[in-house]
Amino acid sequence: MIVRVFGFSVIVSLSALAVAFLYRGWTGLALCAILGILEVSLSFDNAVINATVLERMSRFWQQMFLTVGIVIAVFGMRLLFPLAIVWITGGLAPVEAFRLAMNPPPDGADHFADGRPSYEAILLAAHPQIAAFGGMFLLLLFLNFVLGNRGLTWLSWIERPLGQLGRLDQLAVVIALVILVVAAEYLTPDSTRATVLISGILGAVTYLLVDGLSSLFQRRQPGGPDTSSVPGPPDGDCADRTDMQHGEIRSGEPARARHRPAPIAAAVGKAGFFLFLYLEVLDASFSFDGVIGAFAITPDPILIALGLGFIGAIFVRSITIYLVRQGTLGQYRYLEHGAHWAIGALAVILLVSIRVEINEVVTGLIGVAFIGASLASSVRANRRDGRHAHHEAVRTH
């Protein structure tokens, strides 16, 4: 399983390192390796969330995620997206934007001798708008999860009250828009406030549109579930869904079994397409801060594409597939919760970064902390359920 899932990623990574060495020698090799390791280590929450969506897709769309999706992630988000930002915001022709990226000012300066801003400076100047778009998309994803009325909770002291509040229709949208207005008012300079607001609203609209379309077509497909939004589980926990839809879990079975996710109809056709589109926008939102943060290591777009894309993005996709194939989300019941809390933290950090510079390592460590804590809680819960099952078996006999 491990060789089959990660073999391609290893081959591509070694090839990327070889290209980096031929391109910039040992310095290029080292920078490419650092970027790749950074992307993989800080994107595990992305892989977990991707897995929650991917497990609802047919094998065909899973393969599309691993093939076409990789092309979009590597060339689209890690190479073409920064160039497009510089092209649009700098008023440059695409060829000129690429030439600017490949010929930075000497000594890492922000401007050339004639006063023209560098590629990195133009991209960093667009960070508030990028952060607003990605922050709002991820914030709505987080809010729709924690405001869902779920039977299975991890941080019950806060998730249960939030679930009760979530009965108010469209509360997630209301909260997200209020946060956007506050961020625009208190964190955004007057010169960019309007564009930050527009970018944030576009991020929210993108989430609502893609999520709504994927949910609509999934409900319409034969055998598809007729509840809730696509990214999170339907109302109630996994045990509730299993009991209602399949009748597979009986009251006498251990609690660990009751939390095993039920088989659901794989999304095909239009439903699969919109889930695929949702995954790509989600991956883009996660990659915004990574692309910007990569300039702290090197401004070279080729090395960024090699490290973040050919190594980082492809490994994250392999981790996603591994989680799906192994059924990890069912085995570790709170892992999805931890990933969503990590997303909530990332969304807040993106919005705060409109004004305050936050090191990407800090962002990644917060995500790792939530994932690690939820994983540890899942292990403890599984052990507790195992002891209870053992005691029940002893008492029965």
DSSP 368-384: HHHHHHHHHHHHHHHHH
The first and second tokens of residue 173, run together, are 């949208």
**What pLDDT, on a 0 to 100 scale, did the predictor assign at position 17?**
94
**What pLDDT, on a 0 to 100 scale, did the predictor assign at position 41?**
74
Residues 6+ apart with CB under 8 A from 143: 171, 172, 175, 176, 344
Query: Within a 13 Å sphere around the CA of 138, how many CA atoms are in the beta-carbon half?
Result: 31
The first and second tokens of residue 180, run together, are 């956007």
Q: How far apart are CA 190 and CA 40, in angstroms?
A: 36
Contact 322, 13 (CB under 8 A): no
Q: Which of 355, 344, 301, 382 is nearest to 86 (CA)?
A: 301
**What pLDDT, on a 0 to 100 scale, did the predictor assign at position 22?**
94
Which string of b and e fits 301-316 if b means at least 16 CB within 10 Å? Answer: bbbbbbbbbbbbbbbb
The first and second tokens of residue 79, run together, are 């190479």
**What pLDDT, on a 0 to 100 scale, did the predictor assign at position 220?**
62
Please report, in tens digits, the pLDDT of each residue of the chain (397 residues total): 677 888 888 999 999 999 999 998 999 999 999 888 888 877 777 888 888 888 888 888 888 887 888 888 878 887 788 888 888 877 778 888 888 888 877 766 777 777 788 888 888 888 899 889 989 999 999 999 999 877 889 999 999 999 999 888 889 999 999 999 999 999 988 888 999 999 999 999 999 988 888 777 666 655 554 434 434 433 334 333 333 333 333 333 444 344 444 444 466 677 778 888 888 888 887 777 677 777 777 878 888 889 988 898 888 888 888 888 888 888 888 988 998 999 899 899 999 988 888 877 787 788 888 989 999 999 999 898 888 877 777 777 6
Q: How far apart are CA 204 and CA 188, in angstroms?
A: 18
State the sign of the Cα–Cα–Cα–Cα dihedral 86, 92, 93, 96: negative
Q: How far apart are CA 59 and CA 49, in angstroms?
A: 18
**What pLDDT, on a 0 to 100 scale, did the predictor assign at position 268?**
64
Residue 56 pairs in a beta bridge with none
